[in-house]
Structure 1
Amino acid sequence: MSVTPRAGQAPQAPAGLRVRYAGTSHPAAALGRGAAYELFSADPAPGFEPDRRPGARYPWHRYAHASEVAPLRDGGGPVVAARTSTGSTDPTDQPLTAPLNREVGWAEIHRLGQSPASADDPLLTAVRGSATIRRGTHMVKVLSAAQVAGFLRGWLPYGFCHREYDVAHLRTPADLALLRTDADAGRGVPDVGYLLRWRAIDPVDYVLPTGPEHRGLVTMPPQDRAGPPVLGTGFTPSGRHLVPEFVTRDFADLPLPANATLLAHTVDGDEVVLYTYQPEQRGWLRMAGPRWRHLLAALPGVAPDQEYVSTADAVRSTLLVGGYRGGEHEAVADPPGEFRVLAMTRAARYPVETLVRRARYASWRQTRCLVLREESGWLRLRLCRPDPDNVAALGAQCYERGVYEAWAPAVEVVDGGLLDQPYPI
C-alpha cells in the first residue's frame, strides 16, 4: 500500500512498484488514480530532471503517462492490481486508441492531429472518437491566477477543457502552459500552474471543437483570438503531445458539481489542493496550509488567510434544476450517481426525480448567444458559434480561447427564453 506524500515532499515509490519505460525499469509512484507515473532514477537519463525536493530518495525524476509505461513488480513480474485496461483505477477513464500498423504509428497520428487539413481524415476521426466522456469523468481546465480568482468569485466551468486522464502526466507549469486558455497564454512560463478539476455531470455538456459548427474558430484571424489557435482536429496544438480537447456545448457555463477543486502545480510537479467547492454553503473551503500560502498570495483580490470564500451573491447564467414530488428545486450534482435537492440540512437533501441544466438564450443581429446577465437595459451575451463575421458584426471581444462576449441593448435582442438541457437519471 502506498502513502500519499504531503505536497512539497518527494513521493516515495511504493514498495515493489517499478515500471518499464523506454526499455528500462524504474521505481515509480502512481499519479492521477493511475493515469500517470512519476519515475525515479539514480542516474541521469534522457527526459529526467534533478529532483530538488526535500527528502528525495533519488536524484532524478520525470513524469510519464500510463500509456507510455508497463508496471512491474520487484523481480520483473507484471503488477496485479485493481486497474482498468487504461492503467487507471477509475472506470470512467478511457484511453485514446488507434488502428496502428507498420506504416501508421503514433508519429503519423500526431502529425494528422496538428494539421487542420486532416480534420476529416478517417483515421484521425477514429482516434478522436475514442476520447469519450462519461458521467463522473474527471475534467480539468488550466487557469491563470486571474481566472482562479474569478472562480473563487463565482465563475462556473465553461469553454475549452480536457479530460484529466489525458493530461495527468503534464505536471509542471511549463508542461501545463500549452493548455492555458487565457489572453496571456504563451507569454512566458509562470512559477506555478493552476487548474480547476471537476466531474462531468453528463457527456451531453461537452463537444469536440471540430466540424462546421466550430469552423469559425479555425478561421479566426490572430488579432481576434486569445491563446493558441484552434486546429479543428479536436487536438491541442503541441509539438510533443497528442491531447484531445473539448469545449462546453454552446460555450455555456456548466453547474459546478460538489467537491470540485482548485489546484496548484509547483515547478517540481507537486499538486497542491488550494480550495474545494461546498455547494450547500455556496463557497470554497480553503485547503492549503501555511506552507502554501504564497500560492494564494499570487491570486489578485484574494486574501490568502481567508478560510472560506462565499460565492452566494454571484450571478449565475446556468442553473441546475431538479424535480421532486411535482416541484422544482435548485439541485446539486455529485456525479456519477448522486443528484439531490440543494439544502443546508442533510435530512432535506432528497434525491431528485428529474434533472435539467437551465440557461437563457437570445439572438442579436442574427447571432445565437447565451445571456450571462442583465444590467440597466443591457445584456451581457456570449456567442455560441463565434466566427470572424459575427464577431465583427457584434463588436465582441475575446476574453479567453474561443470565448467571445459583448454587451447589447436589450431592446435590440430577441429573447429566446429559458431552455432546459435534460440529464437522464
Structure 2
Amino acid sequence: MTLIPQTSGNGLHVTYGGTVYPAEEIARGAAYELFGAEEAPGFEWAPRPGSTLPWRRFVHVTEVTAVQPAAAPGEEAEAPMLVPLHRERGWSYVQQLSQQPAAAGDPTLAAVRASAVIRRGTRMVKVLSARQLAGYVRGWLPHGFCYREHDVAHLRTPSATRVLRTDGTGGAEGGDVTYVLRWRAADPGDYDVPVGAAHRGLTELAPRDRLGGAVLGTGFVPSSGQLVPEFVTRDFADLPMPANATLLAYPADGAEVVLYSYQAEQRGWLRMVGPQWRHLLAAVPGLSPDQEYVPTGETPRSTQLVGGYADGEYEAVADLPGGFRVLAMTRAARYPVHWAARRLRLVDWRGAPCLVLREESGWLRLRLRRPDPDAVAQTGAQCQERGVYEAWAHAGEVTDDQVVELPYAL
C-alpha cells in the first residue's frame, strides 16, 4: 500500500487501488473526490489555489476499500447496489450484460437491479440541459427518467454526466457546465423501473421517434463503462415539487454549485448562487442571473399533493425527511397531515392511455403513459425528452376522463 502524505485539509483519507489518497466526501459518502501529488491512471489535472495536490479523480464509494476517519453517523444511508461476484462473472460481465436488451430477464442482472431501491426521502437527480433548467425554474415538475443520487454521485463533470442526459443533444449545448435537479422522493410508489412488459414499447421505438439514449429494457443506463440503475416517474407523470428541492450546476472542475432552492410556500425558486458563479447561468434562455427570486407562475398544476388535517382537505407539501404538512404561508398553520395522496387526471385518447397536463380553451395537453410505436403513430405525439411524448387533443375527443388519487402510506 502506498500512502500519499499530503492532506486535503479535512483529514479524510480514502484507500483506492491500494493507495491512500486525501479525499473529500461527496453526497454524504456516496462518492469521493481524491487528490494526488502525481499523475495516476484516471486522474485529471485540476490544480486549486493553495493546494499542493493538483491531480483529481472522482470515485464511487463501491470502488474504495477503506475510509479514514469513518464518516460520522447521520441520516439513514441509501441501500447500495449489490453485484454478486464470481470468478468467471465479475463486474465487467454484469456491466456488459446490462447493455444487452435480450438479457433483461437474466436472473443475475435482475438481482443486481432489484438491489437498487428507493425509500421515502431518497435523494433523486435528473440531469438537465440549459433549456430544461429554464423550464424547471419557470414551473416544470419532476418527471421522466431520473436516478438515485447515491448511484451517480461520482459523475460530476459535463463529460461524465453525458450518459445521463435526456434531451438528445449529447451535451453539445452548454458543454462546459452540467445542470441538475435534485429532490427527495415522497414515496417509492411514485417511481417505476423501466423493465418488463409495461415498458417494452419504449425499447421498440425507432431512433427517428426518440431523443436521448435508447431504452434497453434492462433497467440500466446505456453506457460503455457505467452500471447505473435508472428509474422513471410512474406513468411518466409529473410529481409535486417537494420543499427544498435544488437546482445545481457542475462546472468542468466538478464543484457542486447550488443555483436555486425551491420555496414551496412562495411557489418559486430562491437564488442561492453568489456573484462568482452567476456566469454559469449565462447559457440559460430567458433567465437573468441577477434575479433574486423566480416565481413559477400561476400555471395550473398537472398533479397535486393533498392531505388531511382535522376534518378538512388541504394542499400539502412533502417536507422530507420530516414528513408531509399543510402548504401554508405562516409557520403556525403548517400542520402535519394525517393522510396524503397524489392527485392527477387521466384520459384515453385514440386508444392510448394519457395524463392531462393542462387544459386551454377546450384543448388538452396530454402525455402518453405507456409510449410505444403504435401509440406514437396514432396520436402524433412528439418526443419532448427521453421517454416523454406529448400532444394536443380536443377535449371532446377523449374518453374515460377521471381524476384519481394515489395514496401515500404515512
Aligned length: 404
Q: Does 1:387 align with 2:377?
A: no
Within 5 A, what are the aligned runs for 1:369-408? Answer: 369-408=354-393
Task: Single out whichever of 330-339 and 257-266 deviates more from structure 2.
Answer: 330-339
Tell me, in whole angstroms, the C-alpha distance in 2 between the residues paired with 1:188 and 1:286.
23
Question: What CA deviation, in whole Å up to 9, does each residue of 1:84-139 have, x standing for no partner?
Answer: xxxxx542411111222212111111011111010000000000000000000000
User: Do the aligned partners of 2:130 and 2:173 also contact (CA within 8 Å) in 1?
Assistant: no
User: Do the aligned partners of 1:17 and 1:71 also contact (CA within 8 Å) in 2?
Assistant: no
User: Do the aligned partners of 2:346 and 2:404 also contact (CA within 8 Å) in 1?
Assistant: yes
Q: Name the residue aligned to 2:149.
A: 164
Q: Does 1:21 align with 2:6?
A: no
Tell me, in whole angstroms, the C-alpha distance in 2 between the residues paired with 1:262 and 1:333.
17
Change (3 A) 1:148 1:72: closer
Tell me, in whole angstroms, the C-alpha distance in 1 between the residues paired with 2:140 and 2:149.
20
Within 5 A, what are the aligned runs for 1:15-414? Answer: 15-73=10-68, 79-82=69-72, 90-185=75-170, 187=172, 190-414=175-399
Report the AA paired with residue 368 of structure 2: L
Tell me, in whole angstroms, the C-alpha distance in 1 between the residues paired with 2:260 and 2:109.
38
Q: Name the residue aligned to 1:86.
A: none
Tell me, in whole angstroms, the C-alpha distance in 2 between the residues paired with 1:415 and 1:421.
17
Q: CA deviation at 1:420?
A: 0.4
Q: Name the residue aligned to 2:3.
A: none
Secondary structure of the residue aligned to 1:33 is coil
Question: What CA deviation, in whole Å up to 9, does each residue of 1:172-197 have, x standing for no partner?
Answer: 01101110101323547711000000
Secondary structure of the residue aligned to 2:117 is coil
Change (3 A) 1:188 1:374: closer
User: Do the aligned partners of 1:52 and 1:268 also contact (CA within 8 Å) in 2?
Assistant: no
Change (3 A) 1:309 1:31: same
Consecutive unaligned residues of structure 1, counting only runs of 5 or more, are: 1-11, 74-78, 84-88
Change (3 A) 1:292 1:188: closer
State the percentage of identical aligned residues.
Answer: 63
Tell me, in whole angstroms, the C-alpha distance in 1 between the residues paired with 2:10 and 2:168.
44
User: Do the aligned partners of 1:396 and 1:405 also contact (CA within 8 Å) in 2?
Assistant: yes
Tell me, in whole angstroms, the C-alpha distance in 2 between the residues paired with 1:15 and 1:217.
46
Q: Name the residue aligned to 2:4.
A: none
Tell me, in whole angstroms, the C-alpha distance in 1 between the residues paired with 2:95 and 2:208.
27
Tell me, in whole angstroms, the C-alpha distance in 2 between the residues paired with 1:190 and 1:56.
27
Q: CA deviation at 1:256?
A: 0.7
Question: What CA deviation, in whole Å up to 9, does each residue of 1:265-324 have, x standing for no partner?
Answer: 010100100000000111100001110111122210011111000114132100000111
User: Do the aligned partners of 2:355 and 2:368 also contact (CA within 8 Å) in 1?
Assistant: yes
Secondary structure of the residue aligned to 2:377 is helix
User: Do the aligned partners of 2:363 and 2:392 also contact (CA within 8 Å) in 1?
Assistant: yes
Secondary structure of the residue aligned to 2:269 is strand
Tell me, in whole angstroms, the C-alpha distance in 2 between the residues paired with 1:334 and 1:170.
27
Report the AA paired with residue 26 of structure 1: Y
Tell me, in whole angstroms, the C-alpha distance in 2 between the residues paired with 1:60 and 1:18.
15
User: Do the aligned partners of 1:183 and 1:399 also contact (CA within 8 Å) in 2?
Assistant: no
User: Do the aligned partners of 1:153 and 1:314 also contact (CA within 8 Å) in 2?
Assistant: no
Secondary structure of the residue aligned to 1:330 is strand
Normalised by the length of structure 1, the TM-score is: 0.93
Secondary structure of the residue aligned to 1:280 is coil
Secondary structure of the residue aligned to 1:30 is strand
User: Do the aligned partners of 2:260 and 2:270 also contact (CA within 8 Å) in 1?
Assistant: yes
Tell me, in whole angstroms, the C-alpha distance in 2 between the residues paired with 1:185 and 1:316.
30
Task: Single out whichever of 373-382 and 97-106 deviates more from structure 2.
Answer: 97-106
Consecutive unaligned residues of structure 2, counting only runs of 5 or more, are: 1-6
Q: CA deviation at 1:140?
A: 0.1
RMSD of aligned C-alpha atoms? Answer: 1.4
Tell me, in whole angstroms, the C-alpha distance in 1 between the residues paired with 2:98 and 2:37.
36
User: Do the aligned partners of 2:130 and 2:174 also contact (CA within 8 Å) in 1?
Assistant: no
Report the AA paired with residue 362 of structure 1: V
Secondary structure of the residue aligned to 2:170 is coil
Report the AA paired with residue 37 of structure 1: Y
